[in-house]
Amino acid sequence: MVWFLRILFLAVFLTLAGCDGAGTQNPIWKDVKITDLAATGNSDANSDDIRRLKTMDFAVYIFDIPADNIDKLEDLWRKLYAKPLRFNDYEAFSDNSFSIGFGQPQTREEIRGLLRAAGGRQIETISLLLSDDEPVDLTISYLDKEQTVFYKPAGSSMEGATLGPGTLSLRVKAKKLLQTRGVCDFKAQPVFTPPQSRYVRQMPDARVQGEYVFVFAEFGLCMAPGDFFVLGPAKYVPNQITLGGIFFSRPDTKPVPVAQVFVFVCASVMD
């Protein structure tokens, strides 16, 4: 009888112990559904993270070339390629004194040598980290007052646009090519942006009041790490009233005026 009472007491004690605060907690796996254990690669949040990881890294080298030596760049242009490049209108591109050429890693040092032979001096290096298909404005020049900027659009005579004050930039963006590993599609176009537009832009591709996009001077090309292109003046324009003159000249340099040449190098394409 005594043993029976002891066993009964022990059973009651264990039952009560299972009802205290600690005992009522659910196992950590109880509310986990089988879908919670699946890979989250298709979730929206994860997709956003993956999109942010698709970045393209570029280095931009800016050279000053004495204005009197612009003709010496002909040797440089002959060493570069035009075939990979795309234009909205090549005739309009060149009519506005824009010149561009594509190169690959094995020719980069030769191109540097030709820039030095033309009296080129590297004055600045800019690092550009581009997210997939999101534009970034690279500042080229600042217009401190309102003025008329002349340009020649596609299939038309010279026209003028009243711009300023504000910034003339090269708007660049790159997009990873899904079908080709390690290659991106790079695009660029000159853009004038009034100061306030930096604060009112809501969407990456949104147009804002007072902004002027020189669509006819847009260009693009596919690039892999090590590829580069050189963007410079086809000729020296010694004034600040044309698009080419504003974009490539630096009239504030004394006593010798200089022109700017830009070398864009693709450093990496993140998959």
- How many domains does the chain contain in total? 1
Domain that holds residue 229: 55-269
Residue 86 lies in a domain: yes
Residue 247 lies in a domain: yes
Residue 87 lies in a domain: yes
Residue 165 lies in a domain: yes
Q: How many CB atoms lie within 10 A of CB 117?
A: 13
Residue 194 lies in a domain: yes
Answer yes or no: are the C-beta atoms of 99 and 232 closer than 8 Å. yes
Residue 61 lies in a domain: yes
pLDDT grade for 35, boundaries at 50, 70 and 90:
very low
| pTM score above 0.85 | no
Answer yes or no: are the C-beta atoms of 54 and 176 closer than 8 Å. yes
Task: Give yes or no for residue 25 having a pLDDT over 50.
Answer: no
What number of residues does the chain have? Answer: 271
Residue 15 lies in a domain: no
Q: Which tens digits make up the pLDDT trace of 173-230?
A: 999 998 888 999 999 999 999 986 544 444 444 456 679 999 999 999 999 999 999 9
CA 143/CA 166 separation, integer angstroms: 5
Residue 174 lies in a domain: yes
Of 267, 270, 226, 264, nearest to 61 by C-alpha is 264
Share of the chain above pLDDT 70, in %: 73
* Residue located via tokens 């007491």: 9
